[in-house]
């Protein structure tokens, strides 16, 4: 009995485990953005780049800290070095071996780079590079946030289109049912029924296409979030709530300094200045202190007694004098690089101002467009309602209904596209103004 229960319960637990892992994840717009900022591989790499840059600062700083090392050296002079000394008795040179059989040296060495212009500038450049990596991380976060929001909107728009077409299919099926009855009773022609069947068939094809497109847009959203595309998600925000919060203030003055690209270019300029200064200070002297303490043991016996101590300290001053004009050429290259960065900053100021003006114009145009499309949709619904009443009263025609239905469908699509364009224009405006 127990053995039977074991085989019965095991598959049940397995099914529960699979079902738990396959649960749908609820996802608001803010959840999607937060997930992307925490999990997107590109952002993770940018954050790792920051850590790498900070490690470089630590590495550069270490060169200015006193360096201490220890050495132990043991030598067995198997064959001693021989020198020739004059023999005053015979008048000839006599070979004599000099040294002990064993020699041991234990030493501790310390050095300190006390003064070096290139060291201090290198440390400053490392810190400037850390700032560059931070701006690069922020730029990646902004780009990914914009992509996630746009793809989230695209999924919502697609879902809304699907619901609208479903409603149109339902309405058209009702009209078709009435028209078929009219045709059977001799109050409508077969061409009216055929025309409605054709419209209904086209709508169902569009519905199938949009259903497939919905899957693709959801996968695009998950891809932009850095989420596995096979994860099941349910979007909790709806288009109406997002649209109701979408109107933003457009009277603010644009300042390119708010853009992360501007900050990145200025950080690059700071690095260029440091690099140029490095070659301006190349002829500055450097000062290194050094010290050594050691114990020596010289003996013909393999023993470690009677050590002889020895110690010294000193300093070394290095003075660059002439490098064959190479430093002058290097300095000239850095000046050119710095001027190029300055030109890039001016070009970005002009380009970003144009981009901001263009984004503002597009946003304001989208606001007006959506107002017009909303009026058009209301008017199309009124026309369809009147046409339906006329048909029920026997004074209308199926052609009139079909045309009115087509106008409603077109107006609904145009209205949804206007909402989508407005929401995208809002994102582009915020991004252009450096407020995303």
Strand 81-86 versus strand 93-98 pairing type = antiparallel
* CA-based torsion, 426, 427, 429, 433: positive or negative: positive
Query: What residues contact 320, with CB distance under 8 A and at least 6 apart?
Result: 282, 283, 284, 285
For residue 292, which of 25, 108, 131 has the smallest C-alpha distance? Answer: 108
| Residue-level pLDDT at 371 | 92
Query: What residues contact 55, with CB distance under 8 A and at least 6 apart?
Result: none
Sheet bearing 308-318, strands edge to edge: 67-76, 102-115, 286-299, 308-318
Contacts 24+ apart (CB under 8 A), 333-337: 334/272, 334/275, 334/276, 334/278, 334/279, 335/276, 337/272, 337/275, 337/276
Give the phi and the psi of residue 298 in degrees, each rounded to 5.
-120, 125
**Residue 44 token pair:** 């993770």
Is 2:104 a contact under the CB 8 Å cutoff? no
**Count of beta carbons in the 10 Å neighbourhood of residue 230:** 8
Model pLDDT for residues 285-297, shown as the tens digit of each residue:
989 999 999 998 8
Query: Would you list the DSSP string of 202-213?
Result: HHHHHHHHHHHH
CATH pick for 22-62+116-284+324-433 out of 1.10.40.30, 3.30.565.10, 1.20.1600.10, 1.20.1730.10: 1.20.1600.10
Please compute, for residue 301, the number of CA atoms within 13 A of its CA located in the half-sphere on the CB side.
4
* Alpha carbon separation from 192 to 180, 206, 388, 393 (Å, rounded): 9, 21, 15, 17
Distance of CA 15 to the CA centre of its chain: 38
Is 342:268 a contact under the CB 8 Å cutoff? no
The DSSP symbol for 88 reads T
Alpha helices in 40-106 (DSSP H): 41-62
Exposed e or buried b per residue across 262-291, where buried means at least 16 C-beta atoms within 10 angstroms of its C-beta: bbbbbbbbbbbbbbbbbbeebeeebeeeeb
Domain boundaries, given as residue ranges, for the chain: 22-62+116-284+324-433, 67-114+286-319
**Residue 193 token pair:** 């029924």
In angstroms, rounded to a whole number, what is the distance separating the alpha carbons of residues 410 and 404?
10
| Between residues 149 and 321, the one the model is more confident about | 149
Q: Which stretch of 158-167, 173-182, 313-322, 339-348 has the lowest confidence by average pLDDT?
A: 173-182
| Residue-level pLDDT at 229 | 92
**Residue 148 token pair:** 């996630």
Whether the predicted pLDDT of 265 surpasses 90: yes
Is 399:195 a contact under the CB 8 Å cutoff? yes
Instruction: Please list the residues that pair with 26 across neighbouring strands.
Output: 234
Whether the predicted pLDDT of 12 surpasses 70: no
Whether the predicted pLDDT of 383 surpasses 80: yes
Whether the predicted pLDDT of 19 surpasses 70: no
| Residue-level pLDDT at 251 | 62
Provide the pLDDT confidence category of residue 118 given band limits of 50, 70 and 90.
confident
Residue with tokens 């009277």: 251
Q: Which stretch of 214-228, 293-307, 336-350 has the lowest confidence by average pLDDT?
A: 293-307
Is 345:353 a contact under the CB 8 Å cutoff? no
| Residue-level pLDDT at 22 | 56
């Amino acid at each position: 009995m127990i053995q039977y229960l074991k085989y019965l319960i095991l598959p049940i637990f397995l099914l529960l485990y699979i079902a738990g892992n396959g649960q749908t994840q609820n996802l608001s717009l803010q959840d999607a953005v937060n997930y992307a900022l925490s999990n997107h591989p590109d952002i993770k790499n940018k954050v790792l780049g920051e850590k790498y840059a900070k490690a470089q600062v630590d590495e550069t700083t270490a060169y200015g800290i006193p360096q201490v090392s220890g050495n132990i050296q043991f030598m067995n002079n198997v064959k001693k070095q021989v020198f020739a000394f004059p023999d005053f008795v015979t008048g000839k040179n006599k070979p004599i071996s000099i040294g002990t059989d064993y020699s041991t040296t234990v030493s501790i060495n310390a050095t300190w780079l006390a003064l070096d212009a290139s060291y201090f500038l290198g440390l400053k450049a490392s810190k400037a590079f850390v700032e560059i990596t931070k701006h690069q991380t922020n730029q990646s976060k902004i780009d990914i946030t914009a992509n996630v929001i746009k793809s989230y909107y695209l999924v919502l728009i697609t879902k809304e289109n699907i619901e609208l077409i479903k409603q149109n299919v339902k309405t058209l099926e009702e009209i078709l049912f009435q028209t078929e009855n009219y045709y059977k009773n001799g109050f409508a022609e077969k061409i009216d029924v055929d025309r409605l069947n054709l419209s209904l068939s086209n709508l169902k094809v569009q519905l199938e296409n949009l259903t497939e497109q919905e899957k693709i847009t959801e996968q695009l959203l998950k891809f932009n979030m850095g989420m596995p595309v096979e994860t099941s998600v349910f979007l909790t925000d709806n288009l109406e709530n997002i649209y109701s919060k979408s109107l933003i203030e457009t009277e603010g003055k644009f300042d390119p300094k708010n853009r992360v690209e501007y900050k990145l270019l200025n950080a690059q300029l700071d690095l260029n200045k440091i690099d140029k200064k490095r070659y301006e200070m190349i002829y500055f002297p450097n000062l290194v202190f050094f010290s050594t303490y050691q114990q020596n043991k010289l003996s013909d016996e393999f023993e470690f007694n009677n050590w002889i101590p020895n110690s010294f300290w000193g300093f070394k001053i290095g003075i660059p004098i002439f490098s064959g004009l190479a430093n002058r050429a290097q300095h000239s290259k850095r000046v050119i690089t710095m001027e190029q960065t300055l030109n890039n900053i001016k070009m970005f100021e002009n380009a970003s101002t144009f981009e901001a003006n263009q984004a503002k114009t597009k946003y304001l145009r989208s606001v007006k467009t959506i107002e017009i499309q909303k009026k058009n949709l209301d008017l199309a619904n009124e026309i369809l309602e009147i046409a339906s009443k006329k048909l029920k009263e026997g004074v209308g025609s199926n052609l009139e209904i079909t045309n009115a239905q087509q106008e409603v469908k077109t107006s609904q699509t145009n209205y949804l596209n206007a909402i989508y364009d407005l929401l995208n224009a809002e994102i582009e405006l915020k991004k252009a103004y450096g407020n995303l």
